[in-house]
Amino acid sequence: PFSKATLQSSGFVDNDSRDNFIKYPIDQRQNEGIINTKRGRIEQVIFHIPLGKQIIVLDFADERMPGGLFLRGATTQEETICYNSDLYRALLDLKYNRFDGGFMIPEFGCLHIKHVQFFKPPEHKESRKIDIIAAACYDLTREHGLYTPPETDEQIEINTRKKLETIIASAQANTEGNGKDTYLLLGPIGCGAFQNKIEKIAKLWAEILYKPLNDQLNTQQRHAFQHIWFISGTDQKLKVFEQAFNIDTKQRL
């Protein structure tokens, strides 16, 4: 954040994030970091968040193809976001303006896209601006993923932790202000066609979010945000997250 680099000297500088780092150091944040589970589809849940709040949504992305099977009519999470927003256009902007006609999400990186316009179905008359973090887990079927998973379960877990840590770091770096009005929407990334075990993904999310942020302030990584919601359309998946975070099912939103 204290780099003196400029657009002219480095080719790319994220000035707004850098300025926000300086004004609101992440390790000084002391938000509530409230973790909840909520049942519903992403296109519905977004509109349950109060107006005036920043919404950051994790997109369970295809690491090698913008929007996954959006153009073929698939209805999984990323494609659903594309149907109801201008995310696909943003991904194509990255493809042609940043990646020179190719497309990839780094193995231990993600794409952070600010101010995506999201429209409420089915009429699409009401809209919200949201931020998107596009990221992907390993394809454990070894059929479609861009990156070959490690050979051992232990190394897969180590690498997956790095992936999820990057997602949280991206969200922390791109909050508006100090994160007190930020809702971070996460979920069972990689647990569909890529066949990652939801128990392992939930365990890693809990370990990362409960990891210390500032020992002197007795804060954890989650305290960089006000609210963190784990979203799923099934009770079975939500119960796994509730167990990992020790949340009473009766407290589900």
For 73-120, the pLDDT digits (tens) are: 998 999 999 999 999 999 999 999 988 999 999 999 999 999 999 999
Position 6 in a domain: no
Position 232 in a domain: yes
Q: Give the separation between CA 216 and CA 207, rounded to whole angstroms.
A: 19
Instruction: Supply the range of the domain harboring residue 99.
Output: 11-251
Count the domains in the chain: 1
Phi and psi angles of residue 210, each rounded to the nearest 5 degrees, phi first: -90, 0
Q: What is the CATH number of the domain that holds 168?
A: 3.40.220.10
Look at the alpha carbons of 222, 107, 99, 186 in this order and tell me if their dihedral is positive or negative: negative
**Per-residue pLDDT reduced to its tens digit, 29-43:** 999 999 999 999 999
Phi and psi angles of residue 186, each rounded to the nearest 5 degrees, phi first: -115, -175
pLDDT at 53: 98
pLDDT grade for 157, boundaries at 50, 70 and 90? very high
* Residue 219 · residue 29 · CB < 8 Å: yes
Position 176 in a domain: yes
Position 225 in a domain: yes
Residue 19, amino acid: D
Position 3 in a domain: no
Position 110 in a domain: yes
Position 183 in a domain: yes
pLDDT grade for 16, boundaries at 50, 70 and 90? confident
Position 4 in a domain: no
Residue 15 pLDDT exceeds 90: no
**Per-residue pLDDT reduced to its tens digit, 189-235:** 999 989 999 999 999 999 999 999 999 999 999 999 999 999 999 99
pLDDT at 1: 61
